[in-house]
Amino acid sequence: MISYTFDQDILYISFTGKIKLEDIIEYLKEFDKIDSLPKNLHLLYDLVNAKLNIAPTEIKIISQIADISTHEYSSTKTAFLVDDPKITAYSTLFSNFATNPKTQRKIFSTKEAAIKWLKDSHK
């Protein structure tokens, strides 16, 4: 399941349980319909309770769709909260595929560090 909430200028996205490519694409379609987000977008993906059932080759597809979804924003900072080696590797691949120069992606092991980085507008 993928759920999200907006709080204090951060869109928190939580992945829970088994997640397939189709689930992520469906979430990104939903994300495209949200019109109330700030132009300097801050995203925190909580992947701690996720079991990603996607192939490494599908990561590039997800990254390309995410770049398209965030293209209209002035800037996008995305933090990934992870605690599993496989998900860390997938998050790294995803981050490396970013093509939009207005996009920053970083991986964290604590929510506090992720929020601090997202709120730091100088980096």
CA 91/CA 81 separation, integer angstroms: 9
Query: Is it the case that residue 123 has pLDDT exceeding 60?
Result: no
Quote the pTM value: 0.92
Domains, the chain, in order of start with CATH, read 2-119 (3.30.750.24)
CA 64/CA 117 separation, integer angstroms: 23
Provide the pLDDT confidence category of residue 121 given band limits of 50, 70 and 90: low
Nearest to 103 by CA among 94, 115, 111, 112: 94
Question: Is 79 within 8 Å of 111 (Cβ atoms)?
Answer: no
> pLDDT tens for residues 57-89?
999 999 999 988 998 899 999 999 999 999 999
**What's the distance, CA 123 to chain centroid?**
18
> pLDDT tens for residues 27-65?
999 999 998 899 999 999 999 999 999 998 999 999 999
CA 45/CA 11 separation, integer angstroms: 8
Collapse the DSSP code of 38 into the 3-class scheme (helix H, G, I; strand E, B; otherwise coil) and give the result: coil
